[in-house]
Structure 1
Amino acid sequence: MRLARLLTPDGPVSGTYDDGVVRADDGTYEVGTDGRLLPPCEPSAVYCVGRNYAETLDQMEYERPEEPDFFVKPPASLVGHGRPIPYPEFTDELTYAGELAAVIGERCRAVAPESVPEVVRGYTVMNDVDALDQQGRTARKAFDASGPLGPWIETDIDPTDVDMRTDVGGERRQEANTELMLFDPYEIVSYLSRRFTFRPGDVVAFGSPANPGLVKPGETVEITYEGVGTLRNRVVAPE
């Protein structure tokens, strides 16, 4: 099942998504005609894991971490599928990174790895946008529109074996499978739950495979996780 949020002229609605239509409690809405897709959840925090693929470590000459290496984006960083990514005026090195992300379904803490499926509502796609030439992770990764998320939440997927690809301007830039993660999604959610109390809607992104790279205004980034969906956003020049 796919769960989506739509912004209509009367406000946001939530429901199930199928073939361009969102079915909510109060009616049926056509995406594009009746409204546009929003990020599929409303988190209190967005937890992101880095350095989670061996190829990425080799590419960036990082040491293998002994435990998940994470940082936090604010909810204000999120934008939905199809929305523009403004190229910030404070950077000359904007990058994309295609990631699978879990959406937490209930308030929880100290969750065992084997119990993670019970607290996860489903999975979605994230683009961890990075202003690479800024100092510190907050400056690099926590600005407006640095977290495209969507297009929906897929509730029926095994996150440990998902093929992914990222295309930029029609050119293949990333291709991998989540089985290549150093720490699998269940380990990561469990690890973070021992440090933070999760709330419904919180997001946990599991890191990007090799070849995250530069993107420039006018280019469209398409990130696909098979069985989940394709997140598409265009980079636009600053106004």
Structure 2
Amino acid sequence: MRIARFVHPGGMSFGVVEGDPEAGSQALTVRAINGHPFGELDYTEQRFALADVRLLSPILPSKVIGVGRNYAEHGAEVPKEPLLFLKPSTSVIGPHDIIRLPEQSHQVEHEAELAVVIGATGARRVDRAAAEKAIFGYTCANDVTARDLQRSDGQWTRAKGFDSFCPLGPWIDTAADVSDVEVRCEVNEEVRQLGRTSQMVFDVPSLVSYVSHVMTLLPGDVILTGTPAGVSPLAAKDVVSVRIQGLGELRNPVAAR
């Protein structure tokens, strides 16, 4: 099942995307639901062509937890334990929203990532088996980073935390097998990153379990699982695309603030 959050003439809703994404957006519809998507779905009578609505970030998390250096080829040194950082909820944007380049940075880079969305039960100090049950689904993410500030600050809060620095979307897939899928990033249709989730140092259940032993994970919280090699700078007027096999495509234009 693919869960989207979208704006339609009557307001904003969560909904279930129906149809084959490989056939293009014109072939897809979205069926609205009442309330949130955790638990049993309460469908409304509203159904829209996907092309006629505006997709938002599929969830507004209470927190976004990032994992650094989780692909051996990307990180200079593979950590012995997951390296965690936080991105504020205000950094989250949706498909086709603009990534704004802050004036404080001269080196803003893309990071294509698989994002894990926590489900209704949440997670606190769970083992691997319980961690898997706590996962609601998966979506595409771009962990946009001001690399020069990351180096100069000595910690990552400012570099990772600017408004618009966490695109998510286009929807949450609740049934995907993400153990070995392609993660691709293109800038202006040129491939910059290409990896597979099987190359992660720490797999998804390990990450969810590890994070839950640090902080309680709430429904809708997002864990970014790290990025493959190939990160590179973004410039105004670029269009950056994150594609994860089976999960769709997340496209965002880039502009100066």
The answer to whether TM tops 0.5 is yes
* Over 4 Å off, 4+ runs: none
Aligned position for 1:227: 246
Return the match for 1:92 from 94, 102, 106.
106
Aligned position for 2:68: 50
Alignment RMSD, CA only?
1.3
Q: Give % identity.
A: 41
| Pairs aligned (count) | 233
Q: Deviations over 1:21-65 (max 9, x none)?
A: 2201331123342x31111112110001010011012xxxx3221
Q: Does 2:87 align with 1:73?
A: yes
Q: Does 2:231 align with 1:201?
A: no
After TM superposition, the structure 1 = structure 2 runs for residues 1-239 of structure 1, keeping only pairs within 5 Å, are 1-18=1-18, 19-24=27-32, 25-26=43-44, 27-33=46-52, 35-57=53-75, 62-106=76-120, 107-134=122-149, 135=153, 136-238=155-257
TM-score, reference length from structure 2: 0.87
Q: In 1, distance between residues paired with 2:9 and 2:81?
A: 45
Q: Deviations over 1:190-235 (max 9, x none)?
A: 1001111111100011000101110101111111110111111010
2:123·2:131 contact (CA, 8 Å) conserved in 1?
Answer: no
Question: What secondary structure sits across from 2:105 in the alignment?
Answer: coil
Question: What secondary structure sits across from 1:157 in the alignment?
Answer: coil
Whichever residue aligns with residue 54 of structure 2, its letter is R
> Gaps (5+ residues) in structure 2?
19-26, 33-42
When structure 1 is superposed on structure 2, of 14-23 and 213-222 the one drifting more is 14-23
Q: In 2, distance between residues paired with 1:100 and 1:142?
A: 18
Whichever residue aligns with residue 126 of structure 1, its letter is A
> Gaps (5+ residues) in structure 1?
none
Question: What secondary structure sits across from 2:73 in the alignment?
Answer: helix
When structure 1 is superposed on structure 2, of 6-15 and 97-106 the one drifting more is 6-15
Question: What secondary structure sits across from 2:115 in the alignment?
Answer: strand
Whichever residue aligns with residue 107 of structure 2, its letter is E
TM-score, reference length from structure 1: 0.94
Shift of 1:92: 0.9
